[in-house]
Every structure is written in structure tokens, then in C-alpha cells.
Structure 1
């Protein structure tokens, strides 16, 4: 089959996925499978080869990352139930002071809090950020809103155990330790620089409180609703999106069941009167697990081998240790009821993530089996910057169309994943570039946009500035940080 036909059919498959999701509002899982089947049949794989690529890709990626995602989400659910976010924000304010709070918020949300499901993280942290905003000086509200938006979205795709980062590592076969270290190298300067750029813009007249913030009465209502959501027994329903999408859900994905439910024994009110764990102890098991993963990557690069260290540094074992340790601490201090409620939350949250990740692997495997790698490899020759910029552009375009950071990143990475072995490009760079591109133009198709708009008292115009422009700046900064890494990785 001619190379032109393969390239054209790949483009048609990706375009068909976008059209099915955007125009016909078909569920992304079904759309991705249809696109993969079309590509397999038109690329000459035959019926058996196509089905084998779709099912094999689904199973392979879930074998690699399924437990990692589940363990990460469950650990985050435990931390949420134990009130970790509220306490961490208070500690950051004491340590960093008002002036440094936006930067500290962006860095912390994008790194230490990425095990907490994004809906939960945003619903709990936004009211806290809003209460802090008046204390940090000029343009406090938009600065905190920008810091939250940048930290949330960047953490998803760059920082293990963020679901996007773990999924990208699985699709491209990137060792999780390598993804963790290089993701950290990228995400910290990205969020700091992007937050700094937005701070300058906001302070120089770009923010108009009269037009960019809600009326005081409406803003107060939003804040009251958000505060009451933290302790309600009936559950949080943060879905203010115009068509009922969940966070990072593309058009037609359907509204996810509200993950931030709180049951008896959860929330600040229910914890009143109980002794509290030191904050470092509460995060200790998760930090230990991430350090074990990073240590494994360092030891592997140094050629050091030891059976015990190798076992502990395996990502599945390291995150299992983090989950068991967090569960033991939360159960001992707050009771078994809280643990059981957190486990229920975690199972609800992880289901759709796992299925979307699996079908993303199906499409990536089908693209690889179609032979696109050799074709693109000859096109890009020995250049490393060109495919990285291309994967950034593909992910950006897909995100604008689909509205899902995770799906657009996985799809873009799948298209160019076969290029890596042909031209000697490290797959981790493709993963990072895909994540960077998928951040571009977070807008009204994302529930993150609407949550930030309502919970932080912004108008739609204001949210376009803090969320859409802020995260887009982070997207550009990230690819500029990633490109030099291609020289040394």
C-alpha cells in the first residue's frame, strides 16, 4: 500500500474521531475505537490484524498503567478525605507569605497534589484560594485563579501520578521514573514562568474588575455554595458547564458522577475534635513512593542493580506502598468509615480514566501497525525539533477541537510515537511535547473553565484571561523548556 494512502487514512481517522465527538456528540471511547478500526482496515491490516491491534493495544496499556492509575486515584481520595488540601494551603500561606502564594499554589497543585482527582482538587482548593486572594495584594483574585488553572492543567500531563502523565508514559513505553524526573524538570519552571508572565499582564491593566469579575452578590452565592459543598452529606455537584460535561471531558463525553462526595466522617466539620496527623506525615507515604520511583530511574541510569531496591523502585510496588501507608494512617487517625468512603470515591473516579486510557492505546497501536512510523521517520530525517514541534501542534489542534487535555495528548503521542525509534528520539520527549500541546487553549469545552469561573467569582470574559490565556502561555513555555532537553536526553 502506498505511503500517501496510509498518511491520508491516518488523517481521516483522526479527523473522524474529532467529528464524531464534536459534531455528533458520540462518547469518546466509542469514537476512538471507530477511528482505530477504520485505520486498521484501510491500512491493510485485515479484520484479524485490526481487531488484534485494537484489543492488544487496549490490554497492553492497561497492563502497564492500570494499577498505577488506580493506586494514584485511591491515594488521592484518602488525602482528600483527611483534609490534606485545606491544611496544605494554610501551611503554604504561612511559609511563603502573601506575595509568593500564587507561585507556591501553582507549584504545589502541579506536583504534590496530582494524586487527587482534578474535580475534587478544584472544588476544594478554589474556595480556599478565593479567601486568600484579598490578602496577596493587587489583583489577588485573578492571580490566584491563574495559578490554580496553570497548576491543575500542567500537573495532569507532566507530573506522575497525574492521570495524563501516567497514560502518556504507558502509550509510549516510557519508564515511569524517567517520566517523573523529566516531568518535574519541565513542570516547575513552566508553572513559575507562566504564572510570572500572567502576573505582569494582570498588574499592567489587563484585568478590569468591573467586567472580569461577577457581581458581588453572585460571587458571594458561588462562594457560599462552594463552602457548603465541602461538608454536605449529599455530595458535590460541581458541573456548571453549559452542557453538563465533567472536568477534562470532551464534547459528548457525558457528565461524570460527582467525585467529590463527602460522607459521614469526611470534611472539616466531621474531623473537628479529632487529633490531626502532621502534614508531612499525611503526605509521607505518597512522597516516599514517588522518591522510590525516582530513585529507581537514577539507579538504572547509573547501572546500579540490587534486587531489593529494584523491587521497591518498581512503580506498581512504590505506589502500592504509598496507598497502603496512606490508608493505614488515615484509618488509624480518622477511622475505617473514612477509608471505606475514600475507596468508594476512588473506584468511581478511576473507571472512565482507565477506559479512555485503554482506547487511546488501541489507536496508538493501530497507527504503529499501519507503518506510519517509517514514513514520518523519513520525512523528519535526523531532526529532533521538528517532530517535537509537530506533536505539540497536533495535540494543540486536537485539544481546541475536542476539549479534552488527556485524549488530545494521547492521540497526538500515538500519531508520532512510531517516529521515536526510527530517528532515535527519546519517547519521553514525545510524551512531554504531547502534554504541552494539549494544554493550549483550555476554553469553554472544559469543565475546569466553568468551575474556575463560578467558584472564583469571575465572569466568562475574566476566565478566558486567567484560564484560557494563562494555560496557553504555559503550553508555549513548556515546549520551549522541552526542546533543549532533546539535546541531552
Structure 2
């Protein structure tokens, strides 16, 4: 029975990752093979399906994810992120320093992976908090809220980009919807949530070993406009394509914007621009710039493999015709596919800890619902993304990154981080359902 096969597969995934601490990529391949065989595929057929899923997923996503990592690394190594942060803080003043920090994290978070964004911005959080005379978490929590929200909702981050490929969603529309939903999620999960705490509850001891950031001198950093435009260039190019598609679909410029608005092309253009603005124009030699590129790619190797593993699982579900079985069931179901997708991702997130695995697995299971119900694939992407960042606890690397950088107890980490990401997840689901009402 297909549903039983999926349940066995998900249970096996949990056992392999939680009990045996097996790598997520290897676990996903084993589960894909087991589910395929349970559904009547021969071992060779199941392996062929896995290979097809691996190749198809990486073929669609490798360029986007790699270029996204390169852009973020170049921005970090050049001081561009620091320039954006310090300029906004100066513009808003100390009284509105929290808002400045949120805007900084939101802008930087579009280009940087969550973990990279934390490394880049936490030293600035400490600096801002000390300079403004406010508790560390008063600045830190909204910054983290912005980073994790962008990571879960907005392409070209690996999670939403990979899930979009499973649902065959338009990345441009996903990006636009994602930003619309991210704004209230960040505000409610960040600045508004901090207001529920007393001042002393937001205090944290700054780890001395972590607060030794590279301070770029004024002359070492690129200008604010240069930093901002370069980091946002992928978003600008993709947004232009979406705008023309909606308002000028028969325009003569459509072929051009269709090309430059392709996510892979947009990121390629942005990386070439960044090599100049964040590198050559700052007096760096080409071999130094290329080292940043190499370092950025090596840091995302496992992310790519996990995403590929999720794609393999999805392909097995399709080739074993489980997708058709699920579509048949859901055709008569009254449960919203958006809520169901969010729920599957949320359960997997709590059980496994990995947002990427949770989102990809949920997408593989729920992919048939798009064709069966006619629901927006872009909103399905965001429903899976919202579910994948819900209640994070001790089995999630992000939990420990947050805990250690702010030097918190496990109890205080749950009280702040775990509740915060759950709020963001629920606001994200609400945003998805609201947008769905107008489509």
C-alpha cells in the first residue's frame, strides 16, 4: 500500500538520522531504495530512478546554488555586508537601531545562506548592541529572524529553490510571494516578539572568542550603493522579468528579460558584476578573488548532496506511481493542500531537524497535489518552506549555532529561538493562505 510505504520510508529516515546519526544524503538514498522496492520496483529499477532523480535535481539547481554562495562570499570578503549594516545604522540612529539591523539582515540575507549570514552579522550585532546600550538579544533576535525567514522563503536560497523545482514552480513568482510573506513574518517574529520579554531576559554574555571580527577600514569597503545594488542584483533582474510577464507579456523586450530574468543567468550576471565591484575595483588580484569562489563552493557541497538526495526520493515516488495514488486520494479530500504540505514539512522538521530535508521530503510527497487540485505551485513551495522552519530544537544545527553565538542556556534558547521560528512558520502559513484567497 503506497501510504504504508511512505510511512515506513519516513520512519526509516528518522531512525537512520536520529538513532544511527547517519548522514542525511546517505539516509535519503537508502530510504528511496527501500520505498521503491516496497512499491514493487526491482532493485535495479529503483536505483535507476534514484540516479535519474539525482541528476535531474542537480542539473536544475547546481548553477543557482553555487552562484548564490559565490555572491554571498564575495560580499562578505569585500566588506560589502559591513558597509550596508553600518550605513543603515548611521541613517536610522540609535533609537531605531533595531529597525536598521532588521533591514540589514533582510538585505544581506537574500544573498547569504543562514549559517553564513550568522557568521557575518553576529559580530555586528555585538558591536551595535554595545554602541547603542541595548541588550544583545534585542538586536540579535530580529537579525536571526530576518536571516532564517529569508533562508526559508526566498530563492535563490537552496531550500525554496530546490522545493520550487519539485513543484515546477516559477522562481520569479516564488521570490515575489516569498518577500511579501517574509515582511510580516520578520516583523512579528523579530521586533514584535522581543517586546514580550523584559530587558533582563534579552541579556546575553558575549563570547569573547567569537567577538573578534575583521574590522574593515573605511577605505577598504565598497560604497553603500555599490554594495546594495550588487547584492540585490539577482532579485532586481528576476523581478523585472516577473513585472514584464504580468504587465507587458507581448512586449518586444520579453525575450531579453526572459533571458536575464532566468535565475541562473541573473546570478551569473550578478557574480560577474560582484567580481568587479567587490574584487577588482577594490584592488584585489584575480587569484585572491578566485580563492573566495573556491572557498564558497566547498562550503555548500553537502547542501547540494542533501538536496540531490531529496530529489532522488521524489523521483522514486513518481516512478513507483505513488504520486498518482496520492493524487487520487486528494482529489476527493477537503483538506487544503497548502495546510497538508505545511503539516508534513513541520512534522519532519521537528523530528529530523534539517529544514532542507523536511522541505524536500514534504515536496516529494505533496507534489501530486498541484495537478490534482490546481493549487498554485509557488504557494506550495512557500507552504513547505514555512513548515520546514517551524519549532527548531536540539536536533537542528541552527539551534546550536544560535545558542553558542549568544552563549545561552538550552532553556533560554528554546524560549527565544524555538518559539521565534515557530511564530515565523505560522505567520508564513497564514500569509500563504491569504495570498491563495486572491489567486
TM-score using structure 1 length: 0.83
1:317 maps to 265
1:155 maps to 150
Closer/same/farther in 2, CA of residues 124 and 109 from structure 1, 3 Å limit: same
Question: How much has 1:385 moved relative to structure 2?
Answer: 5.8
Closer/same/farther in 2, CA of residues 199 and 383 from structure 1, 3 Å limit: farther
In the alignment, structure 1 residue 25 sits paired with structure 2 residue 21: yes
1:295 maps to 240
1:257 maps to none
SS of structure 1 residue aligned to 2:197: helix
Closer/same/farther in 2, CA of residues 309 and 444 from structure 1, 3 Å limit: same
Question: How much has 1:273 moved relative to structure 2?
Answer: 7.3
Alpha carbons 2:5, 2:38 under 8 Å: kept: yes
Closer/same/farther in 2, CA of residues 285 and 88 from structure 1, 3 Å limit: closer
Question: How much has 1:111 moved relative to structure 2?
Answer: 4.4
Per-residue Cα deviation, 1:225-255 (whole angstroms, up to 9, x for no partner): 1233x34xxxxxxxxxxxxxxxxxxxxxxxx
Alpha carbons 1:78, 1:326 under 8 Å: kept: yes
Alpha carbons 1:85, 1:121 under 8 Å: kept: no
Question: How much has 1:468 moved relative to structure 2?
Answer: 0.9
CA distance in 2, matches of 1:189, 1:424: 27
SS of structure 2 residue aligned to 1:78: helix
2:89 maps to 93
CA distance in 2, matches of 1:273, 1:428: 42
Per-residue Cα deviation, 1:398-431 (whole angstroms, up to 9, x for no partner): 1111111111111111110111111111211111
Structure 1: where are the runs of 5+ without partners?
232-267
2:347 maps to 397
Question: How much has 1:485 moved relative to structure 2?
Answer: 1.8
CA distance in 2, matches of 1:49, 1:298: 43
Q: How does 1:141-180 map to 2 (within 5 A)?
A: 141-180=136-175
Out of 332, 335, 341, the residue aligned to residue 284 of structure 2 is: 335
Closer/same/farther in 2, CA of residues 144 and 39 from structure 1, 3 Å limit: same
1:199 maps to 194
1:345 maps to 295
Question: How much has 1:84 moved relative to structure 2?
Answer: 2.1
Alpha carbons 2:152, 2:385 under 8 Å: kept: yes
Alpha carbons 1:374, 1:422 under 8 Å: kept: no
CA distance in 2, matches of 1:213, 1:100: 19
- The total of aligned residue pairs comes to 434
Question: How much has 1:462 moved relative to structure 2?
Answer: 2.1
CA distance in 2, matches of 1:476, 1:107: 21
Closer/same/farther in 2, CA of residues 80 and 410 from structure 1, 3 Å limit: same
1:255 maps to none
Q: Please identify, of 29-38 and 42-51, the stretch whose mean Cα deviation from structure 2 is larger.
A: 42-51
Per-residue Cα deviation, 1:407-463 (whole angstroms, up to 9, x for no partner): 111111111011111111121111111110111111222333223223234333222
Question: How much has 1:275 moved relative to structure 2?
Answer: 4.9
Q: Please identify, of 355-364 and 189-198, the stretch whose mean Cα deviation from structure 2 is larger.
A: 189-198
Alpha carbons 2:24, 2:306 under 8 Å: kept: yes
CA distance in 1, matches of 2:308, 2:7: 21
Out of 298, 309, 315, the residue aligned to residue 365 of structure 1 is: 315
Structure 2: where are the runs of 5+ without partners?
none
Closer/same/farther in 2, CA of residues 447 and 100 from structure 1, 3 Å limit: farther
Closer/same/farther in 2, CA of residues 151 and 385 from structure 1, 3 Å limit: farther
Question: How much has 1:21 moved relative to structure 2?
Answer: 0.5
CA distance in 1, matches of 2:133, 2:424: 23
What is the aligned-residue RMSD (CA, Å)? 2.3
CA distance in 2, matches of 1:406, 1:103: 29
In the alignment, structure 1 residue 280 sits paired with structure 2 residue 225: yes
